[in-house]
Amino acid sequence: MAKRPGSGSDPEASRPLDPELRRRLLLEARTPWRSLRRALWFALVASAGVGLATMALRASAGGELASNDLLIQISAFAIFGSLLWFDRNRDDG
């Protein structure tokens, strides 16, 4: 018969968690996948920024820009930038 974890026979299982590990685990439970989300938001903000820079260079060279394309790029930059801002770690500051 296999012993269940935490049945008291294992001295490691009865030992309390390190407080720092417990804090990190509780933080991860409150905000799951935060680092992956932030990486995605950062990549999308960077992509929108590169698109805006490309459009600015094209406009400064005298090329035509569709106003819809410019509006989409500005909106993407603002939306993903705000998502990155709102997903920040508020416990640090």
**N residues, the chain:** 93
- Pick the most confident of 4-8, 16-20, 47-51, 63-67: 47-51
Cα–Cα nearest to 73, from 43, 41, 51: 51
Q: What is the pLDDT of residue 82?
A: 95
In this predicted model, what pLDDT tens digit does every residue of 16-47 receive, in sequence order?
888 898 888 888 888 788 889 999 999 999 99
Percent of the chain at pLDDT > 90 equals 45
Domain boundaries, the chain: 33-93
- Residues 54, 76 contacting (CB under 8 angstroms): no
Band (pLDDT 50/70/90 cuts) for residue 63 is: confident
Long-range contacts of 84-89 (CB under 8 A, 24+ apart): 84/38, 84/41, 84/42, 84/45, 87/34, 87/37, 87/38, 87/41, 89/34
